[in-house]
Amino acid sequence: MREFLVFLLWLVMDISNIFAEFINLVSSESNDVCNKEDKRTIAPEHVLKALQVLGFGEYIEEVYAAYEQHKYETMQDTQRSVKWNSGAQMTEEEAAAEQQRMFAEARARMNGGVSVPQPEHPETDQRSPQS
């Protein structure tokens, strides 16, 4: 059993090294393609061209499909984010009150559910001093 586990560990490490080498190879070729086009940022098209140049053309359709899926999911996430953020905005006072409420909840959780009163700070106290 021990010998089998050692073999598996060796196999995983070898696969990891092979994968890292593949990524380096594709990255380097993508960078070369990018530089030939006088671009500064590697684009998905550069990666697809690099795969073709390196002889991995049979994977281009699958890589392109994964890229399109990624674009679609990113667009969906962006739309959800815009929809969520486009709601009514809080005033500064409401935001400060909400922040204090969340701090109080966090303090209560940290103290095992026991609410510990916080000392008042004179510079934030809005009341006029008593004479």
Segment-wise mean pLDDT, segments of 10 residues, the chain, 131 residues: 91 94 97 96 96 96 94 82 62 89 88 61 50 44
Spatial distance between the Cα atoms of 38 and 32, rounded to a whole number of angstroms: 10
Q: Which pLDDT score, from 0 to 100, does residue 131 have?
A: 44
In a 13 Å sphere around the CA of 73, the CA atoms on its Cβ side amount to 6
What does pTM read for this prediction? 0.54
Structural contact between residues 68 and 76, judged by C-beta atoms closer than 8 angstroms: no
Domain ranges of the chain: 2-83
Q: Which pLDDT score, from 0 to 100, does residue 89 have?
A: 75
Q: Which pLDDT score, from 0 to 100, does residue 1 have?
A: 87
Q: Which pLDDT score, from 0 to 100, does residue 75 have?
A: 86
Q: Which pLDDT score, from 0 to 100, does residue 15 have?
A: 94
Q: What is the CATH number of domain 2-83?
A: 1.10.20.10
Which segments of the chain are extended strands (E)?
A: none
Give me the amino acid identity at 92: E
